[in-house]
């Protein structure tokens, strides 16, 4: 899970807007996604193109014509084989599961991730869901993303070994009653 934001990333405000993903976004989003590995798993253009239609929130953050990041999330009942999604479906029903959030490296610390999560929260509320969930890699470590999610009010609700024990994640949740911080 991204963003792989350094803990000491500078904060610089950017006028960020969020909209739904369009087909013409997919090549750039696939490149952003794959460059963020191992914080998120690489999908390639074909994998991302196949995944986006299954998402209940497929969001792009942009400033003018410049794409700065994206977020993909699924509501309960999606046909998705992710071990993390299955865990949340079983243990935290009623959640919008954020499968990935990726922010362009030059936009880290500029409010892009917050804007994407604010839009995801709005989508979750519109779907009648009580919380937003996600996971962040512990091994390989992604301390920037862990710190980012903690600042947004996410709390650890578990840990899980995935990908045949090659990846360990922390499972995070935020109640929409708590709101973004």
Residue 36 lies in a domain: yes
Average pLDDT estimate for 172-181 = 76
CB 48 within 8 A of CB 40: no
Asked whether residue 12 is assigned to any structural domain, the reply reads no
Angstrom distance (rounded) from CA 85 to CA 102: 18
> Is 9 within a domain?
no
Residue 33's Cα: distance from chain center in Å?
Answer: 11
Global confidence as pTM: 0.89
Residue pair 168/161 in contact by the 8 Å Cβ criterion: yes
- Asked if residue 22 belongs to a domain, the reply is yes
Q: What is the pLDDT of residues 9-51, one digit of tens each?
A: 444 567 999 999 999 999 999 999 999 998 999 999 999 999 9
- Residue 104 domain-assigned? yes
> Do the beta carbons of residue 101 and residue 50 sit within 8 Å?
no
What pLDDT, in 10s, does the model give residues 130-154?
A: 999 999 999 999 999 999 999 999 9
Domain count, the chain: 1
Is position 115 within any domain? yes
Please report, for the domain that includes residue 34, its CATH number. 3.40.630.30
CA angle 121, 125, 72 (to 5 degrees): 45
Q: What SS3 state is found at 100?
A: strand
Task: Answer whether residue 2 is part of any domain.
Answer: no
- Residue 41's domain comprises 17-175
Closest to 14 (Cα-Cα) out of 139, 87, 104:
104
In the chain the first and final C-alpha atoms are separated, in Å, by 20
Per-residue pLDDT of 68-103, as tens digits, reads 999 999 999 999 999 999 999 999 999 999 999 999
């Amino acid at each position: 899970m991204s963003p792989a934001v350094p803990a000491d990333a500078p904060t610089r405000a950017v006028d960020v807007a969020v909209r739904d993903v369009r087909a013409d976004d997919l090549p750039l989003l696939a490149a952003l996604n794959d460059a963020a590995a191992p914080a998120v798993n690489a999908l390639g253009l074909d994998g991302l193109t196949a995944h986006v239609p299954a998402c209940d929130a497929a969001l792009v953050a942009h400033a003018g014509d410049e794409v700065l990041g994206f977020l993909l999330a699924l509501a309960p009942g999606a046909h998705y084989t992710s071990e993390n999604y299955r865990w949340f479906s079983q243990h935290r029903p009623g959640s919008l599961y954020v499968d990935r959030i990726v922010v362009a490296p030059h936009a880290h610390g500029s409010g892009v991730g917050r804007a994407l999560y604010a839009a995801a929260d709005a989508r979750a509320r519109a779907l009648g869901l009580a919380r937003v969930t996600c996971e962040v890699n512990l091994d390989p470590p992604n301390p920037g993303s862990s710190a980012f999610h903690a600042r947004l009010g996410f709390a650890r609700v578990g840990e899980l070994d995935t990908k045949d024990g090659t990846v360990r994640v922390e499972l995070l949740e935020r109640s929409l009653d708590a709101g973004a911080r």
